[in-house]
Chain A
């Protein structure tokens, strides 16, 4: 669903360099450097409150990075207004879903649709409904009356409608049934493979995220403490102890 011409593999599509972000006077991110190459799936894992969602919002300038810079496709977007950042085809399924509760499912998807051309609209809607048949059943229902999981599907669907070059997903699996999570992860992988979509994924479900991603970062208290290929992270005893063990086998 993203642009069809895959970008050259070399060079980072998104690079976050030495970023510090504050909420009021509280530092949420300290010196974070993360990058995602074109066509990559990168995941950011870490405990609750580590600053993962803050990093994702910093890309969009809400809040803005106080120091450091955010580069997208060779452009410095650190100080760019949020709506202009979105126009660079960076789409996000944000924390807390943030769908438009009084608009119908269809209207929500229309809101997300690509800003410059609508020729792909029908195709994109069809693909979203293929991915989430549930949304098709609810097409004329208001967003606010959907169940939590359905709202999550809508948020992801809306982000996909923008035909993004970079897709930011903040806990896409939150509140979803295991089967749906699997569908979503498969769909992300498939999009990535077929269209070269770059995905930046924040997940609590570290196992699923690492399984999906090419590379991963581990964040603790606003600092990236570890990074590497997903395989290495999955095998890393520290990561296993902190994020993988416990409930899941």
Chain B
């Protein structure tokens, strides 16, 4: 990896052999990675893994014990960040950051916050205050421009109406956006965001995704972000680096990383027996496709509630797959769009098959041998099991799904529109055709 890092001219930031020790505590241990220009790079890992420490090293708030941090600007200038003090890094190397616990100037207005961020260019145009004090027109123009720039960013983050309110008065989500806008007002080429989605609800973090993608598109700013919200990490990042105890345990595309058993065990987490199952499965097949497992937390929410609430005495919260299957009540329609329709479709075809199954459900796999449904991108072992419970065993069954079937399936899988988005039917059709000729091909993922 190191050699790859050294030879890549596209890297906006190269981190080589970074170590940070606080007394006896090793916060970061020989970390190497690179962030490509124009990429959104995510840094994830358990709490206390040293993610924020990496940020503090990049932005000069800590001096690393060892290692080299090379920032290459768009114009080709390179800066060794570990040798620069924090404010020079922002000023010269054009690295800006936000903070985990928002650090706005709460007593200044929203607009003033954005003007403070333009301190350095304004200092120049005010002739280090002297010309500005005497009322030279250059400063007046620069000040007006600065306000225009602030307005541009306020429009982007949808806060124009609140420009003259104190920043401390904004709701939490708006403060997060303002902090990003403030960082952008320093014209950075690398933006470091420390948990930008923390404390945001689902809708707000979706808006954040749009904002970040928009920033990248319009300004070409490269972004590194620390985040625990997988909906942000997996949807917008091009590259994910996973830290645990100050060392890198995984590095690659979101797909690779979220299927990496080590990452799942250390960070993402699924039910224990399933981790074992997944790792075994991954080892056995050489495949790391357990995409759907990542979504387990949310997809099974309704199921779990039904299990636990239908029978309050149900002992363990984490029911094993077997008990879950036995207890699972009729699946509730999960889609808000067509709940009524789903209900009408959801009729059992065979008494052996669970309620809510699709129209073409089978009581048992044909010839007693089901297809390996996990080959379809988006279906993991958990969903495969669920599908099997609902009488879906073969590719051609999925391939034959109609709209109503998709809704019914999404209901028991608790997915919203994922089947269509990931084109399960299309994939299944192809696989169904292939399986006529040869055994199902393995999906390729693997490290980059």
Contact: B231 with A247, CB < 8 Å? yes
Distance of A188 from chain B, by nearest CB (Å): 10
Question: Does A228 count as interface, using CB distance less than 8 angstroms?
Answer: no
Contact: A234 with B302, CB < 8 Å? yes
Of A59-67, A83-91, A202-210, the one contacting chain B is A202-210
Contact: A247 with B268, CB < 8 Å? no
Contact for A240 among B171, B268, B336, CB less than 8 A: B336
Across-interface contacts of B301 in A (CB, < 8 A): 207-208, 210-211, 234
Contact: B47 with A247, CB < 8 Å? no
Question: Does A189 count as interface, using CB distance less than 8 angstroms?
Answer: yes
Contact: A178 with B230, CB < 8 Å? yes
Across-interface contacts of A150 in B (CB, < 8 A): 47-48
Contact: B205 with A247, CB < 8 Å? yes
Interface size on A, as a range, is 35 or more
Across-interface contacts of A8 in B (CB, < 8 A): none
* A to B CB contacts below 8 Å, 7 in the list: A149-B228, A176-B228, A230-B305, A245-B203, A247-B202, A247-B232, A248-B202
How many angstroms from the CA of A141 to the CA of B199 in the assembled complex? 26
Known: A49-B173, A134-B47, A182-B269. A245 touches B297 (CB 8 A): no
Question: Does B86 count as interface, using CB distance less than 8 angstroms?
Answer: no
Q: Please, which residue of chain A has its CB at the minimum distance from the CB of B316?
A: A190
Across-interface contacts of A249 in B (CB, < 8 A): 231, 295, 298-299, 415-416, 418
How many angstroms from the CA of A166 to the CA of B98 in the assembled complex? 35
Distance of A211 from chain B, by nearest CB (Å): 4
- List the interface of chain B (C-beta within 8 A of A): 22, 25, 44-52, 100-101, 170-174, 195, 197-207, 209, 228-232, 235, 266-269, 295, 297-299, 301-302, 304-306, 309, 317-318, 332-333, 336, 339, 415-416, 418
Contact with B along A180-191 (1 / 0, CB 8 A): 111000100110
Distance of A178 from chain B, by nearest CB (Å): 5
Question: Does A199 count as interface, using CB distance less than 8 angstroms?
Answer: no
Question: Does A11 count as interface, using CB distance less than 8 angstroms?
Answer: no
Most buried by B among A145, A147, A181, A245: A147
Contact: B416 with A175, CB < 8 Å? no
Q: Please, which residue of chain B has its CB at the minimum distance from the CB of A242?
A: B203
Across-interface contacts of B51 in A (CB, < 8 A): 147
Contact for B198 among A175, A182, A193, A243, CB less than 8 A: A175
Contact: A148 with B416, CB < 8 Å? no
Known: A47-B201, A178-B228. A149 touches B171 (CB 8 A): no
Question: Does A244 count as interface, using CB distance less than 8 angstroms?
Answer: yes
Contact with B along A124-135 (1 / 0, CB 8 A): 000000000010
Question: Does A171 count as interface, using CB distance less than 8 angstroms?
Answer: yes
Contact: B201 with A148, CB < 8 Å? no
Contact: B229 with A247, CB < 8 Å? yes
Q: Please, which residue of chain B has its CB at the minimum distance from the CB of A137?
A: B48
Across-interface contacts of B266 in A (CB, < 8 A): 179
Contact: A204 with B201, CB < 8 Å? yes
Contact: B198 with A179, CB < 8 Å? no
How many angstroms from the CA of A178 to the CA of B197 in the assembled complex? 13
Q: Please, which residue of chain B has its CB at the minimum distance from the CB of A177?
A: B46
Known: A134-B48, A207-B298, A234-B305. A179 touches B269 (CB 8 A): yes
Contact: B336 with A237, CB < 8 Å? yes
Contact: B232 with A177, CB < 8 Å? no
